[in-house]
C-alpha cells in the first residue's frame, strides 16, 4: 500500500458528532492507516508519498451502512441482483453491517440451521470483501430451541450480531428475552425491528416489545418500511439505551420528528444511519448519501453531524477501528463534492439543500478502490487520483 498524502482538502469531516470538523487541509495515510491530520506545514510528508490534490473537495470517513441484508458474496436473492455491494461502494459505502441473512432461499427455521447460517455468513464475510467493502455478516435469526450454549458456540465462531428480532416468529419477550441476555452477555449486539411488518412472516413491533427486550439497536425508527407511532419512538428513547436508526427504505416524512426527538434528548450519538437494503424497496446504491441528505435537509442537522452519524456513531457501537478521521484508524475515506449544477458549492452545502453529493474517490485501507463514482453525478471539482479507476460517466 503506497504512502499517500491528500492535500488541498476543503473540509475534513471527522465522523465524531461531538467535534465533526477538523481543522487543516492535509491527511496522510501510511500502511493502510491514517498517520497525519493537519496542515501541509505540520504533517511530515515523505518524498516517496503519492500526492492527491483534493482541489478543495471534502474528505470524510467511508460510510458505514448500519442496516444491510446481504446473504453471501455480492448477490442479493431478494432482488436477484449481482454486485449490489460494488454499486454501494460507488455510493461511498466502505462497511456494511448485516441486520440478518433473512433472504437466503429456503432459510432454515430450526436451532441447528439458524446457528449454522449465522456462523457460515460470519466466516464467509471474514474471508471475502466484495470490491474491497468490509462486511460484518452473520446476524443470527432467533428461532425456537436455541440454547445458551449455542450463543457460546456462535460467539466463539465470530458471530457478533443478533439479526432483527420481529422478522422471525420468535419475538415475544418471554421467548426472545433470555436469548437477548445470552447474546449481550457475550458482547453480541442485538437488533430489534420496529414499526409495521416488513416482508411476509414478519411482525408489527412497538415500544412495548423494544422496552422489554432492551436491544442495542432499535432498527429503522422511520420505518422498515412502515414507521412506528411517535409516542413509541419517544418511549424507546426514554426507556432504553438503544441506538435509534434511520434508513433509506423507510418513511421520509417522519425524518424531522425523529431528529427532533433525538436532539431534544441531547443524544446525537444515539442516531445511526442505514439503508435496510436490499429489501422489498430495492437496491439503492446511493441510499446512505441520500439518507444523510434527508437528515440534513429535512431534519435540520448540520451536514457534518449527519455524516458523522453515518460513520463514527456506528463504528463506536460495533467497536470498529474506522469511521472517524483520526490518526491510527483504518484509512477508509471519501472525497466528496457538490454535484455539477447544484446550487451548493461543496459537499456539505449540497447535503444541506438535499442534493446527493458527488463521490470523487473512495479509499479503503489506504488504497483508492475507485476514483469518480459511476453512480453519483460528477463533481464541480476535478480531482485526479493516480492509479484509481473511476466508473466514468
Ligand atoms: Zn426490519
The Å distance, Cα 69 to ligand 1 centre, comes to 10
**Is-contact 77 29, C-beta < 8 A?**
no
Read off the pTM.
0.97
The Å distance, Cα 281 to ligand 1 centre, comes to 12
The Å distance, Cα 245 to ligand 1 centre, comes to 11
The Å distance, Cα 272 to ligand 1 centre, comes to 15
The Å distance, Cα 349 to ligand 1 centre, comes to 31
- Could you read off the pLDDT of 24-72 as tens digits, one per residue? 999 999 999 999 999 988 888 888 999 999 999 999 999 999 999 999 9
The Å distance, Cα 301 to ligand 1 centre, comes to 24
Neighbour count for residue 200 (Cβ, 10 Å): 6
CA distances from 132 to 5, 129, 317, 370 (A): 21, 5, 22, 10
The Å distance, Cα 382 to ligand 1 centre, comes to 39
For the chain, where are the alpha helices, taking DSSP H only?
A: 84-89, 111-127, 148-156, 173-185, 207-213, 230-239, 255-264, 287-297, 303-309, 312-317, 347-352
The Å distance, Cα 106 to ligand 1 centre, comes to 19
The Å distance, Cα 377 to ligand 1 centre, comes to 30
- Could you read off the pLDDT of 86-144 as tens digits, one per residue? 999 999 999 999 999 999 999 999 999 999 999 999 999 999 999 999 999 999 999 99
The Å distance, Cα 47 to ligand 1 centre, comes to 50
The Å distance, Cα 318 to ligand 1 centre, comes to 19
CA angle, 255 then 256 then 259, to 5°: 85
Compute the distance between CA of residue 157 and CA of residue 259 in angstroms, rounded to an integer: 37
Amino acid at each position: 500500500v503506497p504512502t499517500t498524502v491528500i492535500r488541498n482538502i476543503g473540509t475534513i469531516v471527522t465522523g465524531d458528532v461531538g467535534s465533526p470538523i477538523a481543522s487543516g487541509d492535509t491527511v496522510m495515510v501510511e500502511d493502510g492507516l491514517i498517520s497525519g491530520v493537519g496542515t501541509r506545514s505540520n504533517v511530515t510528508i515523505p518524498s516517496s508519498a503519492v500526492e492527491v490534490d483534493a482541489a478543495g473537495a471534502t474528505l470524510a470517513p467511508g460510510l458505514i451502512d448500519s442496516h444491510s441484508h446481504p446473504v453471501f458474496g455480492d448477490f442479493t436473492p431478494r432482488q436477484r441482483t449481482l454486485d449490489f455491494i460494488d454499486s454501494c461502494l460507488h455510493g461511498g459505502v466502505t462497511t456494511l453491517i448485516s441486520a440478518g441473512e433473512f433472504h437466503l432461499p429456503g432459510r432454515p427455521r430450526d436451532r441447528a440451521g439458524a446457528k449454522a447460517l449465522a456462523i457460515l455468513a460470519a466466516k464467509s464475510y471474514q474471508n471475502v470483501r466484495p470490491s474491497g467493502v468490509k462486511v460484518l455478516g452473520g446476524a443470527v435469526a432467533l428461532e425456537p430451541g436455541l440454547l445458551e450454549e449455542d450463543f457460546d458456540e456462535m460467539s466463539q465462531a465470530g458471530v457478533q450480531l443478533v439479526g432483527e428480532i420481529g422478522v422471525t416468529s420468535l419475538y415475544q419477550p418471554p421467548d426472545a428475552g433470555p436469548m437477548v441476555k445470552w447474546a449481550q452477555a457475550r458482547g453480541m449486539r442485538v437488533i430489534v425491528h420496529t414499526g409495521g411488518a416488513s416482508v411476509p412472516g414478519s411482525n408489527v413491533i412497538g415500544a412495548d416489545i423494544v422496552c422489554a427486550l432492551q436491544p442495542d439497536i432499535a432498527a429503522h425508527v422511520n420505518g422498515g418500511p412502515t414507521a412506528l407511532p411517535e409516542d413509541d419512538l419517544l418511549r424507546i428513547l426514554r426507556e432504553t439505551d438503544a441506538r435509534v436508526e434511520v434508513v433509506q427504505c423507510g418513511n421520509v416524512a417522519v425524518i424531522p420528528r425523529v431528529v427532533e426527538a433525538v436532539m431534544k434528548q441531547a443524544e446525537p450519538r444515539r442516531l445511526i444511519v442505514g439503508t435496510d437494503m436490499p429489501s422489498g424497496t430495492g437496491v439503492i446504491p446511493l441510499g446512505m448519501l441520500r439518507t444523510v441528505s434527508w437528515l440534513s435537509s429535512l431534519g435540520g442537522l448540520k451536514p457534518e453531524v449527519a455524516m458523522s452519524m453515518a460513520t463514527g456513531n456506528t463504528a463506536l457501537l460495533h467497536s470498529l477501528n474506522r469511521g472517524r478521521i483520526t490518526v491510527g484508524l483504518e484509512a477508509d475515506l471519501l472525497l466528496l463534492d457538490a454535484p455539477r449544477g447544484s446550487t451548493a458549492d461543496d459537499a456539505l452545502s449540497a447535503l444541506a439543500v438535499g442534493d446527493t453529493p458527488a463521490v470523487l474517490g473512495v479509499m479503503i485501507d489506504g488504497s483508492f478502490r475507485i476514483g469518480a463514482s459511476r453512480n453519483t453525478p460528477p463533481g464541480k471539482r476535478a480531482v485526479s487520483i493516480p492509479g484509481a479507476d473511476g466508473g466514468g460517466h
